[in-house]
Amino acid sequence: MKPVPITQHAPLANDRVSEFAGERSYLATGSVNDDGIVAPESISYESRPSRADLSTKPGDVCFARMHGTRKVLKIDEASAEAILSTGFAVLRPNPEYVHSGYLRSWVASDAFQFAKDRLCTGATQKAITNAKIATLPIPLLPLAEQTRIAEILDAANALRVKRREALVQLDALLQSTFLDMFGDPVKSGWRMVTVEAVASSQSGAIRTGPFGSQLLHSEFVEEGIRVLRIDNAVANEFREGEPRFITARKYEQLRRYTVRPRDVLITLMGTCGRCAVVPDDICTAINTKHLCCITLDRGRCLPEFMHAYFLRHPIARRYLERSAKGAIMSGLNMRIIKALPIPAAPLDLQHHFAAIVGSVERQKASQRSHLAELDILFASLQSRAFQGEL
């Protein structure tokens, strides 16, 4: 059945449609699962409300008020009575007229989010108010049709959730495998060296990018020699990021900052302490001052081992926490990285681990490809559902 015309959409504040829960003044949950469900184990309370009706209930639909923020939460039995901050709006559907899953799907849709963003106001951080939320419409289909649509979209979304869970499990597999192989260097009888000791003997094997007037923002161009930045390493694996370039002439001045295949990148500013390995097919590129680039002596240390050790090993994490200035990971620099203790693990064992990493990365690439296809399918189903074409 097609949805009623837009002029007949029921506003979310209509008494038949929802009981609007209002603004909250208490701490929200610490984290949310990928499918938008509040993780019950992460719920924490800064203070408890004086009124019981401030807590959420199963079936509530919550969404972020801020402009451009698309987080939508589903409250289930396990996470009921969470106290949400004022950053979230809470909608409590009347089950006689609105299916909770249908409402959540509508709130997560592009149409709703675009409408929400248009109504956001504020001098510094734009957000939508309760009064504006009350004017937002919902295509009010017969309840049976809402239930059917919710079931279809939930089933499609469940497939996406499984793909994301598979990616998490692959990461967990790498973590456990690495620690099984390299977790106790003392017991294994390996001596500890430093990152500087396993770097290549060539000049500038551990380097940051050009500073100050060596590379100005005005010198970036539309195409040419690539410049790698934090966004290429912030995911703890190499990502393409937003492309930036310098001219070939400028590159001749900055050639000593060239990034080579299988170099290790570590972020020094912004989100510090992230790590990535440069792929084999990297084009000619340099790195900025926000990245430390390490060219390793691969006869002593493989990039896959260095990457995993930096991110996963307790010795590395404790050293970085002690050495960084201020808050954890807030003050990394080349001196700290050069002095990082690392076990001189046997090269054949490192090669074995690198082979495992390659196999897992291929599986992750396949999972990501399938997830991208499912995301496209879900977006299509969602769009068709609220246009009465599903």
DSSP string, 323-378: HSSSSTTS---HHHHHT-EEE---HHHHHHHHHHHHHHHHHHHHHHHHHHHHHHHH
Distances (CA, A) of 250 to 185, 213, 220, 257: 45, 12, 10, 12
For 102, list phi and psi in degrees, rounded to 5.
-65, -45
From residue 201, alpha-carbon distances to 44, 149, 205, 291 in Å are 51, 63, 7, 20
Check: CB of residue 287 under 8 Å from CB of residue 209. Answer: yes
Count of beta carbons in the 10 Å neighbourhood of residue 44: 11
Residues listed for the chain: 390
- Which amino acid is located at 310 in the chain? F
The reported pLDDT for the residue numbered 34 is 46
pLDDT at 298: 95
Cα distance between residue 335 and residue 319, in whole Å: 13
Mode of pairing for the β-strands spanning 225-228 and 285-287:
parallel
Distance CA 315, CA 285 (A): 32
DSSP letter, residue 279: P
- Which two three-digit tokens encode residue 319? 């050293």
User: pLDDT tens digits for the chain (390 residues)?
Assistant: 344 333 345 666 555 565 554 444 333 444 444 444 444 444 444 444 444 445 667 788 888 888 988 888 777 655 556 666 677 788 888 788 888 889 889 988 888 999 999 999 988 889 988 788 878 888 888 889 999 999 999 999 899 989 999 999 999 999 999 999 999 999 999 999 999 999 999 988 999 989 878 888 889 999 999 999 999 998 899 988 888 999 999 999 999 999 999 999 999 876 778 899 999 999 999 999 989 999 999 999 999 999 999 999 999 999 988 876 554 445 678 899 999 999 999 999 999 999 999 999 999 999 999 999 999 999 899 888 887 777
Burial 246-259 (b: 16+ CB within 10 A, else e): beeebbeebeebbb
> How far apart, in whole angstroms, are the C-alpha atoms of residue 229 and residue 238?
11
The C-alpha atoms of residue 252 and residue 260 are separated, in whole angstroms, by: 16
Angle at 284 between CA 252 and CA 223, to 5 degrees: 80
**Spatial distance between the Cα atoms of 108 and 262, rounded to a whole number of angstroms:** 40
Q: Residue 125: how many CB atoms within 10 A of its CB?
A: 11
**Residues 194, 197, 200, 204: what is their CA dihedral angle, to the nearest 10 degrees?**
80
Question: Rg for the chain (alpha carbons), in Å?
Answer: 26
